[in-house]
Structure 1
Amino acid sequence: MSVLLLEAFNGGSHKQLLDLLQETVEDCVSFTLPAKKWHWRARTSALYFMQAVPASSLYRVLFTSSVLNLAELVALRPDLGRLKKVLYFHENQLVYPVRKSQERDFQYGYNQILSCLVADVVAFNSSFNMESFLSSISTFMKTMPDHRPKDLDRLIRPKCRVLHFPIRFPEVTRFLPAHKRLRHSERHVNIYSQAAQHHTDTSVPSETESHEEKLQKEGLQSTSLAPGLEASQNQPACRQCDEGEKPRPLHIVWPHRWIEAVHCGCYPLCPNTLVYPEIFPATYLYSTPEQLCKKLQHFCKRPQLVRQHVTQVNISTFSWETLKDEFKSLLRADCDMISTEQHTS
């Protein structure tokens, strides 16, 4: 039990990451709270974990997401404060969308800043997430009426790094049209050949049949234009085009998981802002609503452009096989620790 995994909101991507770590990291133990009542988890989970986590001399590393107020936990449990503390940001509360800035609850962003100050390593799932957080700290603290702390971003930045959210991509090749299968297979070879440089075990993880059946039932024979253009990916649709029959219309979807949507054959069409430029080449981005509308009209008139297109996105960068070693290294107690003295000097 040298690695202590804590998750105050164990659902969605938070649970997905925790499950991957539990499967891969030896000698770990986890404590979680269900993924509901997010606001109360952010406010009170430290008090829960204070009582739920038993004392142990075996702990060496503590890994948690930024939902937990790490500063409160360390104050309540000084024994955990001596561990290597790793904080992972799925999102940050300084720029998380709200209708009006007046509606932003100061406490949640403040909790995340405090957590960063006591953490030894702060990992973000994207450069945008990291930079938007660090660059917003000064403005965020100006909402305090007086006695505002200064230069907190300079204390936090040396601890920060980007570590993409890892995805275990399912095998969906058999659902794709013939012209996309070769490229898709090459991607899988690339993912596992990269992993082979770091692992002796290069076996492809097996996927459950129920998941593949679900993909088939839910129509992942369609290719999405992400905010959503999706073209039909099944073989009959391709034959219709070849035989000169009237082609089926494009399907437009808005997937919640983009890097997965592309893996399943979707054509991404994303705003040229936020994290999207980090992931997608410029050809898949639009800058204005007018550009989006024009692209959609163009593809709807010529659906074969989407159906025949093989998306040029390097999804292997975000695969679990590629990122596994980085996460394992992050959770080693012998990694270089960033001392408080280094940040204050």
Structure 2
Amino acid sequence: MKILLLSAYDAASHVYWRTGLVENLDQHQWTVLTLPPRYFSWRIRGNSLSWAFNQRETLEQPYDLVVATSMTDLSALRGFVPHLASIPTLVYFHENQFAYPESGREYGNVEPKILNLYTALAADHICFNTAYNRTTFLSGCRELLKKLPDQVPPGVVEWLEQRSSVLPVPLPQSAYLPHDPQPGPVRLIWNHRWEFDKGPQQLLSAVERLLDSDVDFRLDMVGQQFRNVPEPFRQLKSLLQARAGQVGFVESVEQYRRLLQQADLVVSTALHDFQGIAVLEGVAAGAMPLVPNRLAYPELFPADCCYSSGDGECESLVAAVVRYAHCKHAGEDIPTPDISALSWDNMVSHYERLVQRVVNPGAG
């Protein structure tokens, strides 16, 4: 089968997914087009223009299937390149524009949400990485359509719901490693993008309380960083000092995996996460997840891995760290959820069935 894969805003999580897809469904012939993850507003609106006139020869090849990320302006691209309109198309949603927390720098621009909606409507099937992602997208579409002044067709959300499914981003087999806990203080790792939506203020509050407690801990604070780093991260670097392990982005994959293997707890304070690959990688290396009881986390992990959200959230997180620190000090095992079902080895057949379902919708 000849498949065209379009990643219109090829951020790290999108690269993670598409490379795994191509490597594990290697019985198919793949053509991959990507655009760099910068200039967000232009990229999500302009990718159809860029591709239609820069890559027309590639787009007009005979494909059996098009797989596109939700950042792709699919309705416009199919208009610019009519050849694509007759090819079965699957759109994969890593995220949706309806469920992002506000940073305070928004300008009330509804266009990213409209583009998400139009791309979904232009697809033959839409797939989400978690039920949380699917639910927030459909409810967001419903609320948006209610606000439009007139001529809104009925049944749009129901039509999308019927053509949607959930299939997580799998983990590579290289992420599954033997746990190697270290003696001494309880070791935490926080391994997320250094941006406001990953909850740096929540992390700072928790660290301040831990420093006031009698818990001996070490924190590795790693993850991708950008030009503008939120102020709580600067305060954390100053506060931690002797309690800090690795701080900052880790270039070496081997070193990063080693930190995960040595961690007792992998922590999230996220305000938004549609799947949480960073936490899942920590768990695959043997760390116990400590995640808020919101977003996609409750569908991924048992209740005892999820601390309370809302009022008292920081106290709930700190209490969980203290509890597991005492377990370690007493020589008790810290149990880790089994997420082997999320490996590519176990998920590849599900992806192959999805591909066949989109290409041959009437074939059982």
- TM-score, length-scaled by structure 2: 0.69
Q: How does 1:1-345 map to 2 (within 5 A)?
A: 2-25=2-25, 26-51=28-53, 52-54=55-57, 55-99=59-103, 103-170=107-174, 173=177, 176-177=180-181, 211-216=253-258, 218=259, 220-227=261-268, 257-288=278-309, 289-290=311-312, 292-294=314-316, 296-297=318-319, 299-300=321-322, 303-306=325-328, 308-332=332-356, 335-337=359-361
Shift of 1:297: 3.6
More moved, 100-109 vs 278-287: 100-109
Distance (whole Å) between structure 2 residues aligned to residue 219 and residue 165 of structure 1? 19
* 2:7 and 2:69 in contact (8 A); partners too: yes
In structure 2, do the counterparts of structure 1 residues 101 and 94 end up closer, same or farther at CA, with 3 Å as the change threshold?
A: farther
- Tell me the secondary structure at the aligned position of residue 87 of structure 1: strand
* 1:126 and 1:163 in contact (8 A); partners too: yes
After superposition, what is the alpha-carbon deviation per residue over 1:281-335, rounded to whole angstroms, capped at 9, x for unaligned? 1111122442551452464376142574343423123211111122223334874
Gaps of 5+ in 2: 184-251, 270-275
Gaps of 5+ in 1: 180-209, 229-254, 339-345
In structure 2, do the counterparts of structure 1 residues 53 and 16 end up closer, same or farther at CA, with 3 Å as the change threshold?
A: farther
Shift of 1:337: 2.9
- Tell me the secondary structure at the aligned position of residue 148 of structure 1: coil
Residue matched to 1:201: none
Aligned length, in residue pairs: 281
Distance (whole Å) between structure 1 residues aligned to residue 320 and residue 350 of structure 2? 42
After superposition, what is the alpha-carbon deviation per residue over 1:269-292, rounded to whole angstroms, capped at 9, x for unaligned? 222221111001111112244255
- Tell me the secondary structure at the aligned position of residue 34 of structure 1: coil
After superposition, what is the alpha-carbon deviation per residue over 1:25-44, rounded to whole angstroms, capped at 9, x for unaligned? 32111111112222211110
- TM-score, length-scaled by structure 1: 0.72
After superposition, what is the alpha-carbon deviation per residue over 1:133-156, rounded to whole angstroms, capped at 9, x for unaligned? 112212112333443343210111
In structure 2, do the counterparts of structure 1 residues 281 and 32 end up closer, same or farther at CA, with 3 Å as the change threshold?
A: same
In structure 2, do the counterparts of structure 1 residues 266 and 49 end up closer, same or farther at CA, with 3 Å as the change threshold?
A: same
Letter of the 2:345 partner, please give it: E
Identity %: 25
Distance (whole Å) between structure 1 residues aligned to residue 320 and residue 337 of structure 2? 21
